[in-house]
Amino acid sequence: MVLLFGIFIRYNEEADAHWVEHKQQHNLTDIDNDFYFRYPSFQDVHVMIFVGFGFLMTFLKRYSFGGVGFNFLIAAFGLQWALLMQGWFHSLDQDTGKIYIGIENLINADFCVAGCLIAYGALLGKVSPVQLMVVTLFGITLYAVEEYIILNLLHCRDAGGSMVIHCFGGYYGLAISWVLYRPNLHQSKHNEGSVYHSDVFAMIGTLFLWMFWPSFNSAITNHGDGQHRAVINTYIALAASVVTAVAISSMFHSKGKLDMVHIQNATLAGGVAMGTSAEFMISPYGALIVGFFMGIISTFGYVIVTPFLAKSLKLQDTCGVHNLHAVPGMLGGFIAAIVAAFASDSVYSHQGLINTFDLTGEYASRTMSTQGGYQAAGTCVAMAFGLIGGAIVGLILKLPIWGDPADDNCFDDEAYWEVRSSLSFYLNEMCFVV
Amino acid sequence: MVLLFGIFIRYNEEADAHWVEHKQQHNLTDIDNDFYFRYPSFQDVHVMIFVGFGFLMTFLKRYSFGGVGFNFLIAAFGLQWALLMQGWFHSLDQDTGKIYIGIENLINADFCVAGCLIAYGALLGKVSPVQLMVVTLFGITLYAVEEYIILNLLHCRDAGGSMVIHCFGGYYGLAISWVLYRPNLHQSKHNEGSVYHSDVFAMIGTLFLWMFWPSFNSAITNHGDGQHRAVINTYIALAASVVTAVAISSMFHSKGKLDMVHIQNATLAGGVAMGTSAEFMISPYGALIVGFFMGIISTFGYVIVTPFLAKSLKLQDTCGVHNLHAVPGMLGGFIAAIVAAFASDSVYSHQGLINTFDLTGEYASRTMSTQGGYQAAGTCVAMAFGLIGGAIVGLILKLPIWGDPADDNCFDDEAYWEVRSSLSFYLNEMCFVV
Amino acid sequence: MVLLFGIFIRYNEEADAHWVEHKQQHNLTDIDNDFYFRYPSFQDVHVMIFVGFGFLMTFLKRYSFGGVGFNFLIAAFGLQWALLMQGWFHSLDQDTGKIYIGIENLINADFCVAGCLIAYGALLGKVSPVQLMVVTLFGITLYAVEEYIILNLLHCRDAGGSMVIHCFGGYYGLAISWVLYRPNLHQSKHNEGSVYHSDVFAMIGTLFLWMFWPSFNSAITNHGDGQHRAVINTYIALAASVVTAVAISSMFHSKGKLDMVHIQNATLAGGVAMGTSAEFMISPYGALIVGFFMGIISTFGYVIVTPFLAKSLKLQDTCGVHNLHAVPGMLGGFIAAIVAAFASDSVYSHQGLINTFDLTGEYASRTMSTQGGYQAAGTCVAMAFGLIGGAIVGLILKLPIWGDPADDNCFDDEAYWEVRSSLSFYLNEMCFVV
């Protein structure tokens, strides 16, 4: 890694000390550095990756260390690999053969890692840390390729990554999990599920994801109105998801009680589905409608679809990635295709339309219905990369060399962590008191 | 809600794709979008609403799900309603009949929701989620009206909402709680109070509220010196509160020990009281004095006043909203009235005074002592709206149709949540070990 | 404190209401206020101080209140003192005798407090809150002096404070701890160490420190490329630390298991060591190399050095401050000296070099190798201040007037907090069920 960084990676113009002179030549002010347009969102995205995903995965009663700890490990490892991989596809300077990085590359590396962390959600508790490193290594490579195809070759827009992050990451994890099916997983049944405090820990993850999702969807959109609009749309869609997720959760319970699993997950589905169209002129009520239905679909998925998949499709999906990422991501891709197809000069203004969809150069003549078609095609590419790539990586992970946990040892931190048991602590104390 | 959004709500100029052309016409740069002046503070406020208030209310041993979960629900629901309600009063365009929203509306919706969450603090554990929805629906409507009266008709300044948020929200919750008095609440005594870990969870809420309060008080102040000054004042007032709250907490304990309830709450009182005057030239030592006394008054309230109110006024105030929001908010309003009355050209500069108090148009001739009088009147309006509105909403909630918990079932998540008990988990494990 | 604030502290130009007129005179726009360049980083630093350090110190099974609560107290108290102390040395206007404060002073006060919180890490569980106030009072005073010597007299650069914060703070705490050596600390052995949930709480602290470290190291660097570059370097160094810390942790365990102590701490060492050179043109692979080795050195310290120091040097270091702050901070100082000594016009550009090292006025003729020498000297000054200052403060704290806990009462919240035991709660519940 050090070698590759040494050969390829350099600061970009705005992060280099030469910028002082560049600034004077081009009559720029300090604040014109792209850094200031992106840094607040970057930090929010960073929080989502490490605290959001990390704590969301602490919900299991005996796997909180693995949830937050392995998330930390693979995210930090993945970032480095992502800087290289995405750099080769997106930022490689043809003349110098170097990758010039700046704040946008850091955000994109976080995005890239997000795809792998979503996949981890489907595998949580059933794989070894070494297997996770393999998932990350291949996941990031696949991500860089599919993203290049979708964004550069098909020239799709996907600011918040409904397609390239959520749809790809979700199906990637599901395909791996499907290949790694464990018929005797019921032997770890006593470790599945949450306890009271672990559910409260998971709410930390949920809330930081929920709150900062507007930053996620706006982090790399256009300066000015693009970022502004992406924030508004995402904020509204998320608010709507919460209300319908709660309503459906209560409706499916015999006594009208709420289930923490739905509150922790389905409340976020609006943000996933708004990923691609956040920067479009979907209008505030459009965002509200998307959020409204995603809360319903996602909660329904947790109640009905996940148990069905486990039973009939032999698909073990620990965190319900199918309901939170795969399906809402895919739907988000198709919704954006429709919104794009109906975009017009009157709604966006002529220059606004060109800016929003970057219809310059060779794409200047692309009509909006064509753009819609490409957006839909992009969604299919993401799904295909996830499913096929995941199946192949799953097969690699079946090799008996990776130290995966035994069937009766899943969802248990004891396998990979030095655990100072809270139980023995309470028992000791008790003996002392009694 | 979808219908109302569809009819009324549109992007404002700076969030609309037309902004690209608007920018060129007015010779603006990307960074001139109001978005960049407000977004970092907006996200901090968002964290305060969801993580701050949410986790602060997890302190009860058996009501952590309800604390953070219902907070999430009513905040997300309230945001949508607030965009409409505040929009009708503040952003309705007379010509088009539309509400044009941008980042400032999102912040204001968060503020509006904060008033209802404060009220929830007084009701925590004693009401059903449906009742909370009613509290939110009416609370936000009342908020929009009192805010319109105070800010637009009386032309008060209230950047951080000592009056419109804390004073109103506090008294609103207290009045509801007073009407809903439960003589047999002692039957749920075993569920009241905290355990070790729930107190640590609550500290997450306290710290995020405390840290981001400077953003709260500066989020909608004037660009430039206004935001800068509001941050400095709030930072200093909060730091002073912590020290006096700790000192008084220790002083009231027979062995000089500290009480987590005071650390979790009274440390924040300086931020509440600094809400209105944060953007004024109160001077750093003025802010220090305010924080100093608020820490004392608030801790004193927790030790002496809350038990007194519960006994003699039949007012059950779960979180001590009286000491953290109602009284410091009211005092903050009156402090600001005094500071405003003594504002002068020499301290603010002529243009600075006009800017800070927005003395333009019909208000250009208002003297500072008059402004002080209006600020004091505004505080009284907020209190009156809270008390009267709360009493009426309380009466509505007394109707026996809302599914509120029985007296021996309060402060217990089992009533509304599917709980996988941590106790049975430890017992099971124990049987296994022994 | 109120008196001193009243006499000395005033708003600086950009936080004063006169700024409106100043802005017009100098043809500035709203966004040119230094506030907007620093505020997002400021809030991140604030989170690191209160949530980061606070929760990192909740890892002990019976001292979570003390960890997060005393951290809160001494940070809030320290901020006020730091505004004065640093103000006297750095912002005192010679003409008016006033200290003019703005956003940069708030950040510097947070930095100053960080030094004391690092020292608290070595003392955790073994001192009384009054002793901590003394540690803070002297610590901040010493900090202000050593910072003045290093930054102003020696004219070193130290944006992220490897020298002035980490090296000083670490050795300051270690020296105090060494003087306060308790031969019978083993009597509190049953309270040392963590339980399952307290380790998860500590991960909240770790992650917020880790994520926001790029803001810490860039908060007061030059506008534009300086901040941009500091973020990139820190991000990369931290990512590298995580991977090597995990690898070494696993390598030292007989069964290859991971230890939470290492994950919570050693993963941060890259950020500490990158403190001084973050704004230099160390290049991305330079940052990667620094992070790579720091993860190794720090984990090695936790496994080997801390037990060795405890045994042979009679140095009780609760949080392992030696491995996370003292040594990486010192190494960071020397690394920066080398990087500075090799800085050249060709890498930085002529103007870039002058800007980065602020080689203006009397320092215009300083050569880069001289600058490197001064950087190394600065590191030695920081260490000397820490060791000597700490030894003296330790002697003061040995006076038997500070109410420190008995040897069998260390690491126990019962000594200073009203604890509603979680144990008695579980026992009660059990009696009820059985």
Model confidence over B44-91: pLDDT tens digits? Answer: 999 999 999 999 999 998 899 999 999 999 999 999 999 999 999 888
Give the per-residue pLDDT at A3.
Answer: 87
* Whether A242 and B19 lie within 8 Å, measured CB to CB: no
Rounded to an integer, the average pLDDT of B348-369 is 93
Work out the pLDDT band at A61, boundaries 50, 70, 90.
confident
The whole-angstrom distance between B350's CA and the closest CA on chain C is 8
Q: Which residue has the tokens 């997720």?
A: A245
What residues form DSSP beta bridges with C258?
A417
Residue C64 structure tokens: 């979570």
Give the per-residue pLDDT at B425.
Answer: 47
Q: Is residue B371 part of a domain?
A: yes
Of A411-425, B270-284, C386-400, C408-422, give the lowest mean pLDDT range: A411-425
Give the per-residue pLDDT at A425.
Answer: 47
pLDDT at C369 over 90: yes
Q: Which residues in chain A are closer than 8 Å to C257, comparing Cβ atoms?
A: 416-418
* Whether B16 and A224 lie within 8 Å, measured CB to CB: no
Q: Is residue C433 part of a domain?
A: no
The whole-angstrom distance between A426's CA and the closest CA on chain C is 7
Q: Which residues in chain A are closer than 8 Å to C246, comparing Cβ atoms?
A: 73, 129
Of A28-37, B26-35, C90-99, give the lowest mean pLDDT range: C90-99
Work out the pLDDT band at C431, boundaries 50, 70, 90.
very low
> What is the C-alpha radius of gyration for chain A, rounded to an integer number of angstroms?
22
Work out the pLDDT band at C196, boundaries 50, 70, 90.
confident
Among C17, C30, C12, C28, smallest CA distance to B353 is for C17
CA-based nearest residue in chain A for residue C35: A31
pLDDT at A423 over 70: no
- C26 secondary structure, DSSP code: T
The whole-angstrom distance between B190's CA and the closest CA on chain C is 10
Give the per-residue pLDDT at C197.
Answer: 86
pLDDT at B153 over 60: yes
Give the per-residue pLDDT at B433.
Answer: 42
Q: What is the pLDDT of residues A322-347, one digit of tens each?
A: 999 999 999 999 999 999 999 999 99
The whole-angstrom distance between A80's CA and the closest CA on chain C is 7
Q: Is residue A426 part of a domain?
A: no
Asked if A40 has any chain B CB less than 8 Å from its own CB, the reply is yes
Asked if A98 has any chain C CB less than 8 Å from its own CB, the reply is no
pLDDT at C40 over 50: yes
**Cα–Cα distance between C393 and C354 in angstroms, integer?**
39
Q: Is residue C166 part of a domain?
A: yes
Residue-averaged pLDDT of chain B: 93
Give the per-residue pLDDT at C422.
Answer: 52
Nearest to C229 among A2, A11, A80 (CB): A11
- Cβ contacts from B onto C, under 8 A: 196
Work out the pLDDT band at B434, boundaries 50, 70, 90.
very low
In SS3 terms, chain A reads as CHHHHHHHEEECHHHCCCHHHHHHHCCCCHHHCHHHHHHHHHHHHHHHHHHHHHHHCCCCCCCHHHHHHHHHHHHHHHHHHHHHHHHHHHHECCCCCCEEECHHHHHHHHHHHHHHHHHHHHHCCCCCHHHHHHHHHHHHHHHHHHHHHHHHHCCCCCCCCHHHHHHHHHHHHHHHHHHCCCCCHHHHHHHCCCCHHHHHHHHHHHHHHHHHHHHHHHCCCCCCHHHHHHHHHHHHHHHHHHHHHHHHHHHCCCCCCECHHHHHHHHHHHHHHCCCHHHCCCCHHHHHHHHHHHHHHHHHHHHHHHHHHHHHCCCCCCCCHHHHHHHHHHHHHHHHHHHHHCCCHHHHCHHHHHHHHCCCHHHCCCCHHHHHHHHHHHHHHHHHHHHHHHHHHHHHHHCCCCCCCCHHHCCCHHHCECCCCHHHHHHHHHHHHC
Q: Is residue A38 part of a domain?
A: yes
Q: Describe the crossing of helices B196-218 and A196-218 by its angle, rounded to 10 degrees.
A: 20
Kindly list the partner chains of chain B, i.e. chains with 3 or more CB atom pairs below 8 Å. A, C
Of C233 and A432, the one with more pLDDT: C233
Give the per-residue pLDDT at A422.
Answer: 52
Q: Residues 133 to 152 of A: which have CB under 8 A from any B CB?
A: none
Residue-averaged pLDDT of chain C: 93
* Whether A224 and B50 lie within 8 Å, measured CB to CB: no
Q: Is residue B30 part of a domain?
A: no
Rounded to an integer, the average pLDDT of B377-391 is 97
Give the per-residue pLDDT at B316.
Answer: 93
Q: Which residues in chain C are closer than 8 Å to A77, comparing Cβ atoms?
A: 239, 242-243
Nearest to B258 among C24, C30, C69 (CB): C69
Asked if B302 has any chain C CB less than 8 Å from its own CB, the reply is no
Give the per-residue pLDDT at C190.
Answer: 80
Give the per-residue pLDDT at A303.
Answer: 95
Rounded to an integer, the average pLDDT of B298-324 is 94
pLDDT at A420 over 80: no
The whole-angstrom distance between B95's CA and the closest CA on chain C is 30
ipTM: 0.94
Task: Tell me how long chain A is.
Answer: 434
Q: What is the CATH number of the domain that holds B87?
A: 1.10.3430.10
3-class secondary structure, C80: helix
Asked if C192 has any chain A CB less than 8 Å from its own CB, the reply is no
Work out the pLDDT band at B421, boundaries 50, 70, 90.
low
Domain range for B52: 8-15+37-402+411-423
Rounded to an integer, the average pLDDT of A121-139 is 96
pLDDT at B308 over 60: yes
Q: What is the pLDDT of residues A142-153, one digit of tens each?
A: 999 999 999 999
Asked if B47 has any chain A CB less than 8 Å from its own CB, the reply is yes
Q: What is the pLDDT of residues A206-236, one digit of tens each?
A: 999 999 999 999 999 999 999 999 999 999 9
Nearest to A349 among B21, B428, B433 (CB): B21
Q: Which residue has the tokens 């000491």?
A: B323
Asked if C253 has any chain A CB less than 8 Å from its own CB, the reply is yes
> What percent of chain C lies above the pLDDT cut of 70?
97
Rounded to an integer, the average pLDDT of C47-74 is 95
The whole-angstrom distance between B85's CA and the closest CA on chain C is 30
3-class secondary structure, B430: helix
Of C297-301, C376-380, C426-430, give the lowest mean pLDDT range: C426-430
Q: Is residue B24 part of a domain?
A: no
Give the per-residue pLDDT at B431.
Answer: 43
Q: Is residue A158 part of a domain?
A: yes
Q: How many domains does chain C have?
A: 1
Q: Which residues in chain A are closer than 8 Å to C426, comparing Cβ atoms?
A: 426
Please tell me the pTM assigned to this model: 0.96
Give the per-residue pLDDT at B39.
Answer: 95
* Whether C355 and A10 lie within 8 Å, measured CB to CB: no
